[in-house]
């Protein structure tokens, strides 16, 4: 059988899974690729480091030139994280005639334009299924399978680490810091998990999806975002009493020619598919004008789910399919985007509000008054009886609103936080009923 020599740069969580699939499932990959994907070289930073997988003799190296200078290696899985040296290595690999497969969404979200331009100029391709939602084939689905549609709505849970953390907090009352450490140990989190939990990783993935689905050229840092790093167990409990679970939700919704994008911890009604996504699972709901609502669910982080997507991309590239779709894919093309962004203040939602108030007469009326002045209608109020009879101690007051604009909600909370009987730092989260 014909042999295609391939290489892997980076043998951490994902790279080890890719090497494992290539070595242990060679027959399977050969059957699908119509040729053997021969793992010729794996390049890492530190060859002395203990590895969970033993490679055939002579494969492991810390010398990138062994790949760059080998004209027989045509296909490289680039699996190091972060921006540099990942960007420089990717450019060097392209310049030396390699097609690339990558899982690095941070790199694509930041330098996708430059890398895709260079790949097109050089007649090379970049495949990146693993960069968004791990093992879920969402890039292929949106880029190819749903291409007959105008996509109008995309809602998703796009970070496995965050979803693992909120699930553990909700189901087991787990401690936040300990759960972050567990997500790192399980291989879900990035080397530095900050971007997993502060919403940045999700914004990067949403920018890629919005680009693919709507042609929107938006930089991930321009997407309003909030993570789960300040989520309190108190809100998880109140949400549960109200019949909701809190999830880190990414939204891209097109109305006319304007696109609403945001990432935020959101109350999702129990029983809705997104509310039932647990642990390191991700999910994406995509609504197209012809297909209607579709729902994709699967592991969004972790070694083998991610390796599954990387190796499928390697097979597609070895066969020549990637090169065809890469030429026609609108992603980071030079074509002008016809889609403008909706100002975040103009977007609307129902809201969950939690105030910490003094148990004084008239406090509820003051808060309701300010909400009313800002055209925010109250849907329900929850305040448990206090064991003390009034006074200066703080009690929680939960208000669910009807749909209101983001701007009105921001203004109302800023005003309420100024009241003497309300502790500053009131909580506001979006509610997803649709
Ligand atoms: P790891 O931190 O586990 O592994 C990174 C690898 O890159 C290590 O093997 C490291 O070498 C190697 N490396 C770093 N710098 C260099 C360099 N200069 N030259 C050669 N090798 C280098 O990361 P992951 O495997 O978790 O993630 C890889 C990519 O995949 C990231 O972009 C991540 O965002 C993405 N991703 C990760 C998922 C996951 O579940 N973990 C899921 C989806 C995407 P050494 O081992 O010697 O230190
Ligand atoms: N750290 C990422 C996550 C990996 O937890 O979702 C997948 O991109």
Q: Which residues 6+ apart lie within 8 Å of 359 measured at CB?
A: 386, 388, 390, 391, 393, 395
Go through 43-77 and write b for each residue having 16 or more CB atoms within 10 A of its CB, e for each that does not.
bbeeeeeeeeeebeeebbbeebebbbeeeebbbbb
Ligand 1 atom closest to Cα of residue 188: 40
Give the chain's length: 434
Ligand 2 centre distance from Cα of residue 230 (Å)? 19
- Residue in 80, 190, 228 to alter for ligand 2 test, most ligand atoms within 8 A of Cβ: 190
Statement: 344-432 belongs to CATH 3.30.70.260 = yes
Q: List C-alpha distances in Å: 187 to 52, 132, 306, 377.
A: 13, 16, 11, 44
Distance from C-alpha of 399 to C-alpha of 229, rounded to nearest angstrom: 22
The verdict on whether 205 is a catalytic residue reads yes
Beta carbons of 221 and 199 less than 8 angstroms apart: no
CB-based pocket (< 6 A), ligand 2: 134, 159-161, 188-190, 196, 201, 300-301
Q: Which residues 6+ apart lie within 8 Å of 123 measured at CB?
A: none
Two structure tokens written together for 48: 């002395």
The listed CATH number (3.20.190.10, 3.30.70.1070, 3.40.50.970, 3.40.50.720) that belongs to domain 3-134+324-329:
3.40.50.720
Note the ligand closest to the C-alpha atom of 165.
Answer: 2
Beta carbons of 267 and 257 less than 8 angstroms apart: no
Ligand 2 atom closest to Cα of residue 159: 6
Three-state SS for 191? coil
Maximum separation of any 2 CA atoms in the chain, in Å: 83
Beta carbons of 248 and 230 less than 8 angstroms apart: no
Q: What's this model's pTM, rounded to 2 decimal places?
A: 0.97
Three-state SS for 153? strand
pLDDT at 390: 59
Q: Which residues 6+ apart lie within 8 Å of 164 measured at CB?
A: 179, 182, 183, 186, 188, 279, 280, 301
Ligand 1 atom closest to Cα of residue 11: 9
Number of C-beta neighbours around residue 34 at 10 A: 12
pLDDT at 256: 82
Number of C-beta neighbours around residue 240 at 10 A: 14
pLDDT at 332: 77
- The tens-digit pLDDT sequence of the chain (434 residues) is 899 999 999 999 999 999 999 999 999 999 999 999 999 999 999 999 999 999 999 999 999 999 999 999 999 999 999 999 999 999 999 999 999 999 999 999 999 999 999 999 999 999 999 999 999 999 999 999 999 999 999 999 999 999 999 999 999 999 999 999 999 999 999 989 999 999 999 999 999 999 999 989 899 999 999 999 999 999 999 999 999 999 999 999 998 889 999 999 999 999 999 999 999 999 999 999 999 999 999 999 999 999 999 999 999 999 999 999 998 877 777 666 778 899 999 999 999 999 999 988 999 999 999 999 999 999 999 998 777 665 668 899 999 999 999 999 999 999 999 999 999 999 999 999 87
Burial of 407 per CB tally in 10 Å (0-12, 13-18, 19+): middle
CA angle centred on 20, ends 15 and 23, rounded to 5°? 125
Ligand 1 centre distance from Cα of residue 12 (Å)? 5
Distance from C-alpha of 161 to C-alpha of 182, rounded to nearest angstrom: 9
Beta carbons of 76 and 314 less than 8 angstroms apart: no
What residue segments make up the domains of the chain, in order of their start?
A: 3-134+324-329, 140-298, 344-432
Statement: 140-298 belongs to CATH 3.30.360.10 = yes
CB-based pocket (< 6 A), ligand 1: 9-15, 43-46, 49, 79-81, 85, 103-104, 130, 134, 187-188, 190-191, 301-302, 306
Ligand 1 centre distance from Cα of residue 303 (Å)? 11
Q: Helices in 215-350 by DSSP H: which ranges?
A: 233-241, 303-319, 321-328
Beta carbons of 361 and 312 less than 8 angstroms apart: no
Ligand 2 atom closest to Cα of residue 103: 8
Burial of 358 per CB tally in 10 Å (0-12, 13-18, 19+): middle
């Amino acid at each position: 059988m014909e042999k295609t020599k391939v290489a892997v740069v980076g043998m951490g969580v994902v790279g080890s899974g890719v090497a494992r699939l290539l070595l242990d499932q060679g027959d399977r990959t050969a059957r699908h690729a119509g040729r053997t994907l021969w793992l010729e070289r794996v390049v890492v930073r530190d060859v002395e480091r203990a590895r969970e997988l033993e490679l055939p003799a002579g494969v492991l190296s810390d010398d990138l030139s062994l790949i760059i200078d080998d004209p027989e290696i045509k296909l490289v899985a680039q699996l190091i994280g972060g921006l540099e040296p990942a960007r420089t290595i990717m450019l060097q690999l392209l310049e030396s005639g390699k097609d690339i497969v990558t899982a690095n969404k941070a790199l694509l979200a930041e330098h996708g334009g430059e890398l895709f331009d260079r790949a097109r100029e050089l007649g090379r391709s970049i495949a990146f299924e693993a960069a968004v939602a791990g093992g879920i084939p969402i890039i292929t689905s949106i880029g190819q399978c749903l291409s007959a549609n105008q996509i109008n709505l995309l809602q998703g849970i796009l970070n496995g680490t965050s979803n693992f953390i909120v699930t553990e907090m909700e189901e087991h009352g787990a401690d936040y810091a300990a759960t972050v450490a567990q997500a790192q140990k399980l291989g879900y989190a990035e080397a530095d998990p900050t971007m997993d939990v502060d919403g940045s990783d999700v914004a990067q993935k949403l920018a890629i999806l919005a680009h693919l689905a709507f042609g929107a050229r938006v930089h991930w840092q321009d997407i309003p975002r909030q993570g789960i790093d300040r989520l309190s167990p108190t809100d998880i409990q109140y949400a549960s009493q109200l019949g909701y679970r809190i999830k880190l939700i990414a939204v891209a919704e097109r109305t006319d020619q304007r696109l609403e994008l945001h990432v935020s911890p959101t109350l999702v009604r129990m029983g809705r598919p997104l509310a039932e996504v647990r642990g390191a699972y991700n999910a994406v709901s995509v609504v197209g004008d012809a297909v209607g609502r579709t729902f994709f669910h699967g592991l969004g982080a972790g070694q083998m789910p991610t390796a599954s997507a990387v190796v499928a991309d390697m097979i597609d590239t070895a066969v020549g399919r990637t090169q065809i779709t890469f030429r026609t894919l609108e992603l980071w093309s030079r074509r002008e985007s016809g889609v403008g962004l909706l100002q975040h203040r103009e977007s609307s939602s129902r809201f969950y509000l939690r105030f910490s108030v003094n148990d004084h007469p008239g406090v509820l009326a003051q808060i309701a008054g300010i909400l009313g002045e800002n055209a925010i209608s109250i849907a329900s109020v929850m305040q448990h009886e206090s064991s003390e009879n009034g006074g200066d101690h703080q009690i929680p007051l939960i208000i669910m609103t009807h749909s209101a604009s983001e701007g009105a909600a921001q203004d109302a909370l800023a005003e309420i936080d100024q009241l003497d009987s309300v502790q500053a730092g009131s909580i506001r989260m979006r509610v997803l009923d649709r």
